[in-house]
Structure 1
Amino acid sequence: MRENASLEEIKRAYREQVKKYHPDKYQDNPLRELAEEKLREINEAYEYLLKNHGQGTYSSGSYSYGGYSEFQTVRDYIMRNDFYAAERELNKINNRNDEWFYLMGIIYVNRGNYSQGYSYIKRAAEMNPYNEEYRDALNRLNNSYRNYNTQYYNAPRRDNDDCCQICAWLYCTDCLCECCGGDFISCC
């Protein structure tokens, strides 16, 4: 890359490098880790070059090359809690990369569909395991799930909730006092 490259040349070179070193091309290859490392370097260089050209970037650590403004528009809708508009904008984006899955997960979680949201965020974290934003969101979801289960399964059980105990009380009441309707209660 020459020193005075235009913004378009930088973007074109970036897209070529992302395609070349994208981890999905190295799924079952021992070079996968090397490709991921190279991709991180490419992202850092790209963000540096954009900042020096006077362009602001949203630093998500993503190797998205679908365009800054597309995902930023979705993030803006999410920040305004307009999740339907965010989903509509996100579905217009053809580049289903890690950021796409992350944002879709955030939308689903905020709309109350935790299971689907978790799946999307988990996929984003698997696609780009070095992205702290994705890992933090996944960890928060895992922790809230663990806390919920701990509260539910470790809740103290009351003896009066036991069906047999209730039946025994009714039987004793029926034996002692005929005002409960006579001898129609039988043992469970």
Structure 2
Amino acid sequence: MKDPYEVLGLSRGASKDEVKSAYRKLAKKYHPDMNENNPLKDLAEEKFKEIQWAYDEIMNGTASSTNYSSGSSYSSGSYGSGNLFSVRQQIQTGRFQEALRALNSMTDRNAEWNYLMGVCYVNIGSMGQGMQFVQRAANMDPANTEYRNFLNQILNMQRSYQQRAYSYGGRGSSSADCCTQLICADCLCECLGGDLISCC
């Protein structure tokens, strides 16, 4: 088990007030209500449980009489592989390129792997590629609500962008529509004595 003082970011021998302050700060950051729309809310919930455990260990006096090792007591959690848990931590802290490198070095490419690849790609701006990975994860594990919820978030974002483009006159316009509009604008300018496109 991990040292509870280490979990709270404190050195051994910290005062009760320091323990309470560190606990409140971390509990607020990782509380499930604060991470409701976070695609990694399960990881935040695991961390929240670890913080509660650490606080209880210290406040009950158990921490002073137990030998702890480094590393998380929740190293595998519900995510199976400790490597995938580490990747989730990298994603949680915004280290998406590092997470992608770790994922690309893995050989077991299960539903969780596909989901995490998708989360990384979405967060670095490759929405289409990210959606493909998340869709694959949801197909591999249809009962996983985390995968389905994130896929729905991506689809809702896409719909929102399409509707916004439509409201600005985009209507899925092609390059031919753009050229037609440009020629019309040039004709209007010429009628008013100007010239938008000098070659026409």
Scaled to the shorter chain, the TM-score interval is 0.5 to 0.7
Residue aligning to 1:129: 142
Q: Which amino acid aligns with 1:88?
A: R
Q: Amino acid of the residue matched to residue 108 of structure 1?
A: Y
Give the residue type in structure 2 aligned to 1:105.
G
Q: Larger relative contact order (C-alpha < 8 A, sep ≥ 6)?
A: 2
Instruction: Pick one of 170, 174, 177 that aligns with 2:190.
Output: 170
Distance between the aligned counterparts of 1:76 and 1:93, measured in 2? 16
- The amino acid across from 2:155 in the alignment is N
The aligned counterpart of 1:98 is: 111
How far is 1:172 from its partner?
4.3
* Residue pairs, 1:39-188, within 5 angstroms: 56=74, 58-59=77-78, 67-156=80-169, 163-173=183-193
Unaligned runs of 5+ in 1: 1-54, 61-66, 175-179
The amino acid of 1:171's aligned partner reads C
Give the alignment's Cα RMSD to 1 decimal.
2.7
| TM-score where L is the length of structure 2 | 0.50
Residues 166 and 77 (structure 1 numbering): CA distance in 2 closer, same or farther, change over 3 Å? same
- Paired with 1:105 and 1:165, the residues of 2 have a C-alpha distance of 42
Cα distance, 1:168–1:90 mapped onto 2, change above 3 Å: closer
Corresponding residue for 1:26?
A: none
Residue type of the alignment partner of 1:70 = N
Which has more radius of gyration? Answer: 1
One-letter amino acid of the counterpart of residue 187, structure 2: C
For normalisation by structure 1, the TM-score amounts to 0.53
Aligned residues: 115
Between the aligned partners of 1:168 and 1:88, the Cα distance in structure 2 is 54
Gap runs ≥5 in structure 2: 1-72, 171-180
